[in-house]
Structure 1
């Protein structure tokens, strides 16, 4: 018998409404995945659901294109009820559209300034209610020229604050954000003394993100801070400075595409607990990186993106597990001695003039994202060199894409005789070779050279293809044909090729096709 049904005396079955028996807090959690309008519509289900909708501690106002009087009236009436009944507000999300439309007014409308001022006053009132009712999370994408009210700086219960396109005016009083753990500022106007005042006052702050903000020149993370994650993106002027005085940082992400200098200052030993370093800086030099890396005794993940002034990287680390080099086009020498390395990713022109040497005792995944014509004979030779320093390579991933280089031919050429007397031994045995191709209409000769160079480099048990094409079936047939023609060209020819995707024939019409082949040597 269905456990949700009960049998009556007459033998008929009555359905039991288990959902209505759920406690309020659980139903609140369920409808928290709905937006404000959808959550409000649940009130028609029953009297209890009307109560649930009215007492939901999660309030979300997110108009898609225009701020209407009807929507603001509903939010206001709901906030007034929370204030009257002293109901807990756990989350308040106010996201106003980026356009200048308020109550149907365009930016040229003479009524716009007045209505924006009225809206700002109403948002101030809602924030005051939320603070008094112990709000824990506030997400605010403010209306135009909106300034945060001072009362928000005394929200003792606030744990997470996300601000977008607002202004934080200077406040010389005491800041009492005793519970704040996450602070996100995006395109925010804030004075330097105010920003540093907030950082130093929030002793429990664990995660700080400042992106595309302005109004300050120096950011100081004091020694008393317990900050674990720091993200700074395109937010400093050319002469700006970041002063790190704390030793608690575990993750530091820095992005700056305009500065011609390395702006980070830190005393020796303070970065000993850093585990993840993500740098996208046009200003960092070989000397800067050479001084920084020895300080990172606990570093496990290193991202270097668009660091075009770097020409040489030397890394020796027992803890390092993942390295990503992306579009660092000035590199000439890369030497990595990392016994625990499990993943190495390289994106950019696969320039054979750049010498990359990797030494690792762990099983490592190599990932190379390049444009087709860089995989010529020297390119495959460089790829094979990369694999020689690895004790074990469980997978090799090759991405072919023109997404960052629109010039140049797409032909792939490989001729082993060009290498002369150079011999790196037989192809490397690996578990899987992963190939991803993005809108590459390669010729038959390029496909043949591509596969020939890869089989000269490695001997996989599995080949996995990912085709991102409008019509991938022709390219798949070309690759399959070349695989069959090449099967007898090697000392251990392919005995059988199996498609592990039973629905492959049905997916050929899609824009993305995953195809996996088992190779039997």
Structure 2
């Protein structure tokens, strides 16, 4: 007999609900894996579950507007009043019963645009929005309740007006994670008691320099700091007492801004700025010895800046450079480096990498601006290239083979082709081995897999033939994987398969398997030596 069933006097089985007999903290942990609406729906199961749903320590409130609302990002007056009343009554119950608030998430309408209006036009619209004037005092009260009830995670997305965080939030000793979107942090002269704070994320936040650095220096357990599109300061100081591990700065410093690093605990550093024309980081020698991830996007870093920086990064494992257009020559010498990604660094002429542990090299650019790349790696190194067909010619394939020749071994090569004209038929790929003259780089490199992706691009038969000839002249893959981002990929599949039909039985092209996840191509290729698999995702 089922242990969860008991037999009554009449002989009928009475099913016991042992699941609901679990303690509150276990049931709260179970429904924490559900989103807000699903967790709330459990209240219809029984009175016990209604209690569990009403006392859930994870509280998430979102403002949703009706499709026909006059303001795209704000609900109607009736819905707004009902939502505010529900949130307020729920928070008041937590205050009255002294219920634990582990997570509080308040997200209001997007403040960047309302009904297609710019930020400058918001002030006149805000006055007309329903119940806006009540929100500041209400949010202050809800935050005070959360702090008193030992909140650990707070996620606040401000409404369209400038909302100032209350001072009580700076004394939330139990707070571990704080995410703020479009709020204002006022100056506070008292002590900041965020002694448990480990993660701080600021997006579109207005905070003065003294206050921001005061928060950073006071939170001794802070591990992760992200500052994105914020204003009010030009210098960020990470003091020597800080235990910060991850630092992310995105479009947040003025042109004369500076980042001063005084700590040696930093492991991951990400810097992104669309208009920066110099490298703003200042640190003493040896302080970046523990940095393992360096991610730079669109900054004015030069060869000299990067060279000095790499000399200090003895523990560097991942180097990501995006749109660093001032870089001309890169010299990388690292024992632990595993991954290098160079994307749209259009000024690059020469790249030399001496990394014995390198496992993946990614280059996204055009073959026409393809730099001279030399990689020295003792392990198998995967290569990923994204280019356009305009620069895919004999010289481009020659440069790729020269790159692969310098590798000790290569497991996979990934090539992504794109074109500026949407789904236009391209006939620009050319390959003629005779153009290379007496140059001899030896036989093509044997690799396990070639991954080919076409982004909204249709190739002519001559381009398909030239592309495959150039690729097979460069490398000999055991497996070819196709991925086509096209409305109708059947034509491209047939073109590639018809060309591969003649190559499959050639000793120069010893294919073992073809994979195409976009269509059924199992009946197109008739060669018995090649296994064709479709609908396989890589």
* TM score, norm. by length of structure 1: 0.91
Matched, 1:388 2:405: yes
For 1:372, the equivalent position in structure 2 comes to 389
Matched, 1:82 2:94: yes
Checking the alignment, whether the CA contact within 8 Å between 1:465 and 1:515 is kept in structure 2 is no
Matches within 5 A, 1:194-273: 194-273=211-290
2:211 and 2:514 mapped to 1: Cα distance?
A: 64
2:35 and 2:128 mapped to 1: Cα distance?
A: 27
Moved more, 31-40 or 4-13: 4-13
Equivalent residue in structure 2 for 1:130, among 146, 163, 170? 146
Deviation at 1:74, TM superposition (A): 1.1
**Inter-CA distance 350–407: structure 2 relative to 1 (3 Å threshold):** farther
For 1:485, the equivalent position in structure 2 comes to 502
For 2:461, the equivalent position in structure 1 comes to 444
Matched, 1:71 2:83: yes
Deviation at 1:330, TM superposition (A): 0.4
1:495 and 1:367 mapped to 2: Cα distance?
A: 20
Moved more, 72-81 or 129-138: 72-81
Helix, strand or coil for the counterpart of 1:449? helix
For 2:118, the equivalent position in structure 1 comes to none
2:384 and 2:62 mapped to 1: Cα distance?
A: 40
**Inter-CA distance 19–401: structure 2 relative to 1 (3 Å threshold):** farther
2:306 and 2:4 mapped to 1: Cα distance?
A: 65
For 1:93, the equivalent position in structure 2 comes to 105
For 2:30, the equivalent position in structure 1 comes to 30
Cα deviations by residue, 1:444-467 (Å, 9 ceiling, x for unpaired): 111111111111011111111111
For 1:473, the equivalent position in structure 2 comes to 490
For 2:162, the equivalent position in structure 1 comes to 145
For 2:520, the equivalent position in structure 1 comes to 504
Checking the alignment, whether the CA contact within 8 Å between 2:163 and 2:184 is kept in structure 1 is yes
* TM score, norm. by length of structure 2: 0.88
Checking the alignment, whether the CA contact within 8 Å between 1:244 and 1:266 is kept in structure 2 is yes
1:346 and 1:287 mapped to 2: Cα distance?
A: 21
1:196 and 1:410 mapped to 2: Cα distance?
A: 57
Checking the alignment, whether the CA contact within 8 Å between 2:101 and 2:146 is kept in structure 1 is yes
Checking the alignment, whether the CA contact within 8 Å between 1:329 and 1:348 is kept in structure 2 is yes
Helix, strand or coil for the counterpart of 1:51? helix
Deviation at 1:277, TM superposition (A): 0.1
2:502 and 2:346 mapped to 1: Cα distance?
A: 37
Cα deviations by residue, 1:179-223 (Å, 9 ceiling, x for unpaired): 000000001000000000000000000000000001101000001
Checking the alignment, whether the CA contact within 8 Å between 2:477 and 2:511 is kept in structure 1 is no
Deviation at 1:385, TM superposition (A): 1.1
Q: How many residues are treated as equivalent by the alignment? A: 508
Checking the alignment, whether the CA contact within 8 Å between 2:478 and 2:511 is kept in structure 1 is no
Checking the alignment, whether the CA contact within 8 Å between 2:478 and 2:512 is kept in structure 1 is no
Matched, 1:326 2:343: yes
Matches within 5 A, 1:276-287: 276-287=293-304
Root mean square deviation of aligned Cα: 2.8
**Inter-CA distance 502–327: structure 2 relative to 1 (3 Å threshold):** closer
Matched, 1:418 2:418: no
Cα deviations by residue, 1:371-429 (Å, 9 ceiling, x for unpaired): 12222111111111111121110111111123699999662111111111111111111
2:457 and 2:535 mapped to 1: Cα distance?
A: 16
Deviation at 1:283, TM superposition (A): 1.0
For 2:39, the equivalent position in structure 1 comes to 39
Matched, 1:453 2:465: no
Cα deviations by residue, 1:456-483 (Å, 9 ceiling, x for unpaired): 0111111111111111111111111110
For 1:50, the equivalent position in structure 2 comes to 50
Checking the alignment, whether the CA contact within 8 Å between 1:274 and 1:299 is kept in structure 2 is yes
Helix, strand or coil for the counterpart of 2:367? coil
2:208 and 2:425 mapped to 1: Cα distance?
A: 48
Cα deviations by residue, 1:218-262 (Å, 9 ceiling, x for unpaired): 000001100000000010000100000100000000001212111
1:475 and 1:423 mapped to 2: Cα distance?
A: 33
Helix, strand or coil for the counterpart of 1:392? coil
Moved more, 382-391 or 183-192: 382-391
Gaps of 5+ in 1: none
For 1:313, the equivalent position in structure 2 comes to 330
Checking the alignment, whether the CA contact within 8 Å between 2:423 and 2:457 is kept in structure 1 is no
Checking the alignment, whether the CA contact within 8 Å between 1:373 and 1:410 is kept in structure 2 is no
Deviation at 1:353, TM superposition (A): 5.5
Checking the alignment, whether the CA contact within 8 Å between 1:148 and 1:168 is kept in structure 2 is yes
